Every structure is written in C-alpha cells, then in structure tokens.
C-alpha cells in the first residue's frame, strides 16, 4: 500500500469551496497506517474541515512528533509545509514557528505517547503559553509502532492484547489541559465525523491553544474486548455533552436549536461557535464546573465528548510577548538595528 502513488484522477463534478478547490486539493500522500486505523478517519476529518474553511493550503503549517499519529501530517494538505520533529517535542517547534510568523494557521498532530509521556512537559507548557494552534491528540491508549505497550492514557483495568492489565492511573489530556489553563478543550471520537469536523474548524479559528483529544482506536493492538479505547467501547461509553457548530464569519446560523439549548461563542475573527448543550446542566464556559463534570462522568465510566471548555478571551503567546502586528520573519532588517550611529552611542557605556 504505502509505496503506491495516489491516483490523481479528478472527477469534474467534485464540489468546490470558495477558492474553487476540491477536497482532493487538500489531500496528502497515501496513508501507510493499518487498514481501519482511527487516525485515517481523523485525517479525512481534517481534510473536510480545512476544505470547508476555504483555507489556502500554504496558510496552513502541519507539525508532528514521532509515532503513528505523527505520521499522519504527511497524509493531508500536501500544499502545506510540514515539520515532523522528534518524539514529544512538536509543541516547541510549533511555538518557535508561531513566534516567527503569527499569520499562519498551525495544526499539530500528536498521540497519547507523544503528548502524555515523553512530551508531557512540552504539551503542558504550550498550553500555559497559549500558543495559537490547533493541537490534536490522537489517543488510542497504546504504543502502535513498538507493538502494543500501554501508553499513559490507558485506563486502570484495561487489558492489553496479550492480556496484561494496566494498573497505573491514566493521564486525561482534557483534565490536564483544564488544570493548566487551556482555552479550548474538546474531546471527540475518530468515528464521529459530524462532531469532529466542526470542532477542528473551531479549533483552527480559536485564538490560542485549542486541544482536541480524539479517541482513535488502534485496530491492531487495542481494539479487543477488555480495552477501553476500542471502537465498541468508545461507541458505548463516550457521551457527548456539548455539540459545537462552527459558523464562519458573516455566515448565517441555519441550524435550528431548541429553547435555551444554543450558546453562541464569538471568535476573534468574526466567526462563531454555537454550542448545543445536550446536557442542560453543563456549562462549557466554567472551568471548575467542567472539571467536576468530567471527573463525575469518568467515575461513572463515561467519557465526555464535545467542546468541553472554551474561553475566547485571554492573551495568546504573542499578546503576552507584546509582539508587533507584522510577523517577526517579515520585519525589515533596517528596523532591527540602529546602525553604526547607534552602536557608537551604545558602546559609550563601556568606554
């Protein structure tokens, strides 16, 4: 599979976005993941999302670390620059790239091993800095490339393919992000494109760090009975609390919402997210309540999905650094130093 080139045939009637591009224009190289891998569904949701946003491919920057999930940045948006770094350190590369050019959209694809074990520190600090990026954690509870070891997100009591039981407490990326001050925290399931696509769109447009934990089952090593990250388990135990609809700037809200159900959240670029609360007691704008709700549901064996928490105000890394509006990589050199005249003044202090 992996060495076959993708067919380039285009059907003339494929739907086109505002730029006149089809979904095909947002595809990447052929996936080399196992057939049925949840990650491939996430890849197709990303393609659907960026096509729907009519984003020019060169406006997007793709970043990843190491692992099955990190391979997927090659499988979408071949017209976008990609950076596949080292294991667990994608957030720092994304932070540096974002520092250099604030005008582009950054999407980081990581996994539970990459984000919650080797890269837990970088994950945490990128949240603290509120780096303006979308961060996807393709979470399958298992190390795929090294053949089936538990990851840090494996639930207590979940069983490996070989029958071993995990006894260590899991790291929940959503609870972690909530406690670290994350400004956009969501959970979804690779099999639920209807929920995932608008979350990806909203996350890309969110100013600040948008984290989506995506349960993405590993068909080869973690899709058996006894696993809490299998397709079957996810379908039965993942509970959507809040559905998010992404409404682009100037577009009208066409969906109909029940009485008291819709909660519109204004984004910095004029777009909106309309949150549809499926659980009337839930408040996705209250950090403490969101934390408590997630914990309560987890104790009941339910994994809450949807846009768990959002706060559209709050400074991102550039605001905190008070950087100029022009991307730093475009500031003319002349503006960066005061020349010989300035130097002569500076060195007087040292004479």
Partner 1 sequence: MAQPAKAPDRLNDRVNDFVIKLANVNGTGSASANTLLMKSIFRMGIPVMGKNYFPSNIQGLPTWYEIRVTRDGYVARSGRVDLMVAMNAETYHKDVREVSPGGYLIYDSTWPRATVLTRDDITILGVPLARICNENFVGVRNRILMKNIMYAGVLAALLEIDVEVIRGLLTESYAKKPALVDANMKAVQLGYDYAQAHLPCPLPLRVERMDKTKGFIMIDGNTAAALGCVYAGATVGPWYPITPSTSLMDAFKSFCQKLRVDPETGKNNFAVIQAEDELSAIGMVLGANWNGARAFTATSGPGISLMNEFIGLAYYAEVPAVIFDIQRVGPSTGMPTRTQQCDLMLCAYASHGDTKHVMLFPSNPEECFYMSVQAFDLAERLQTPVFVMSDLDIGMNDWMCRDLTWDDSYQPDRGKVLTREEIEALPKFHRYLDKDDDGIPYRTLPGVTAKGAYFTRGSGHNQYGAYTEDAAEYQVVLDRLLRKFKRARTLLPPPVIEATGTSNIGLVAIGSSRGAVNEARDILAKRGIAIDYMRIKAFPFTKEVEAFMAKHEKIFVVEQNRDAQLRSLLTLETDVPKSKLHSILHYDGLPMTSKGIVEAIVAELGDAQRAAVAAR
CA distance 115 to 172: 11
Residues 155, 26: Cα–Cα separation, whole Å: 35
Place of tokens 């582009």: 104
Footprint of partner 1 on 129-148 (CB under 8 A): 129
Residues 275-294 that bind partner 1 (CB under 8 A): none
Q: Which range touches partner 1 (CB under 8 A), out of 46-54, 152-160, 227-235, 329-337?
A: 329-337
DSSP 190-248: TT-HHHHHHHHHHHHHSSSEEEEEEE---TTTS-STT-TTSHHHHHHHEEEEEEEEEE-
Interaction of residue 22 with partner 1, rule CB under 8 A: no
List Cβ neighbours of 263 (8 Å cut-off, separation of 6 or more).
Answer: 274, 275, 276, 277, 284, 285
Options 91, 111, 198, 284; binder of partner 1; rule CB under 8 A: 91
C-alpha span between 54 and 337 (Å, rounded)? 39
- Judged by CB under 8 A, the stretch of 187-195, 260-268, 275-283, 322-330 that binds partner 1 is 322-330
**Number of residues binding to partner 1, judged by CB under 8 A:** 60
Q: Which is nearer to partner 1, 270 or 342 (CB)?
A: 342
Among 101, 248, 279, 298, binds partner 1 (CB under 8 A): 101
* 121 makes contact with partner 1 (CB under 8 A): yes
Measure the CA–CA gap between 272 and 282, rounded to whole angstroms: 19
Binding of partner 1 by 252 (CB under 8 A): no
Instruction: Note the Cα 119 to chain centre separation in Å.
Output: 15
Q: Of residues 42, 45, 74, 205, which one binds partner 1 by CB under 8 A?
A: 74
In angstroms and rounded to an integer, the radius of gyration of the C-alpha atoms of the chain is 21
Report the alpha-carbon distance of residue 47 to residue 26 in Å, rounded: 6
104 binds partner 1 (CB under 8 A): yes
Residue 19 sits in the site that holds partner 1 (CB under 8 A)? no
DSSP β-bridge partners for residue 133: 209
Instruction: Examine residue 82 and tell whether it contacts partner 1 (CB under 8 A).
Output: yes
- As measured in angstroms, the least distance from the Cβ of 197 to partner 1 is 22
CB of 108 to partner 1, least distance (A): 11
Looking at the Cβ atoms of 83 and 291, the one nearer to partner 1 is: 83
- For residue 231, what are its two tokens? 């397709």
179 binds partner 1 (CB under 8 A): no
Nearer to partner 1, 278 or 328 (CB): 328
Contact between 100 and partner 1 per CB under 8 A? yes
Q: What span, in angstroms and rounded, lies between the C-alpha atoms of 121 and 115?
A: 8
Window contacting partner 1 (CB under 8 A); options: 88-96, 194-202, 205-213, 215-223: 88-96
Residue 35 makes CB contacts below 8 A (sequence gap 6+) with 219
Residues that bind partner 1 (CB under 8 A): 56-59, 61, 63, 73-74, 78-86, 89, 91-101, 103-104, 121-122, 124-125, 129, 317-318, 321-325, 328-329, 331, 333, 335-340, 342-343, 346-347, 349-351
């Amino acid at each position: 599979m992996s060495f076959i080139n993708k067919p380039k045939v285009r059907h003339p009637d494929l739907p086109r976005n505002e730029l006149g591009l089809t979904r095909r224009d947002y595809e990447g190289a052929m996936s080399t993941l196992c057939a049925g891998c949840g990650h491939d569904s996430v890849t197709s949701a990303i393609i659907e999302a960026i096509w729907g946003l009519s984003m020019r491919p060169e406006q997007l920057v793709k970043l990843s670390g190491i692992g099955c999930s990190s391979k997927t940045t090659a499988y979408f948006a071949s017209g976008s620059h990609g950076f596949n770094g080292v294991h667990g350190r994608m957030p720092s590369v994304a932070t540096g790239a974002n520092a250099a050019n604030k005008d582009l959209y950054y999407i980081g694809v990581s996994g539970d091993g990459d984000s919650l074990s080797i890269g837990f520190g970088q994950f945490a600090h990128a949240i603290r800095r509120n780096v303006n990026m979308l961060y996807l954690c393709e979470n399958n509870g298992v190390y795929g490339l090294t053949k089936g070891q538990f990851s840090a997100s494996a639930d207590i009591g979940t069983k490996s393919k070989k029958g071993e039981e995990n006894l260590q407490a899991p790291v929940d990326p959503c609870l972690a992000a909530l406690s670290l001050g994350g400004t956009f925290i969501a959970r979804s399931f690779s099999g639920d494109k209807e929920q995932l696509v608008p979350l990806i769109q909203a996350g890309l447009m969110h100013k600040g760090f948008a984290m989506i934990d995506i349960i993405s089952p590993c068909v080869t090593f973690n899709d058996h009975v006894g696993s809490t990250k299998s397709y079957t388990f996810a379908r039965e135990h993942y509970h959507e609390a809040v559905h998010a609809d992404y409404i682009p700037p100037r577009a009208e809200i066409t969906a109909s919402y029940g009485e008291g159900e819709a909660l519109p959240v204004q984004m910095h670029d004029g777009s909106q997210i309309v949150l549809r609360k499926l659980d009337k007691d839930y408040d996705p704008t209250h950090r403490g309540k969101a934390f408590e709700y997630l914990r309560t549901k987890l104790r009941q064996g339910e994994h809450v999905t949807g846009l768990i928490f959002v706060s559209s105000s709050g400074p991102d890394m550039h605001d905190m650094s008070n950087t100029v509006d022009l991307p730093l990589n475009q500031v003319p050199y002349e503006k960066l130093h005061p020349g010989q005249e300035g130097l002569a003044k500076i060195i007087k202090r040292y004479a």
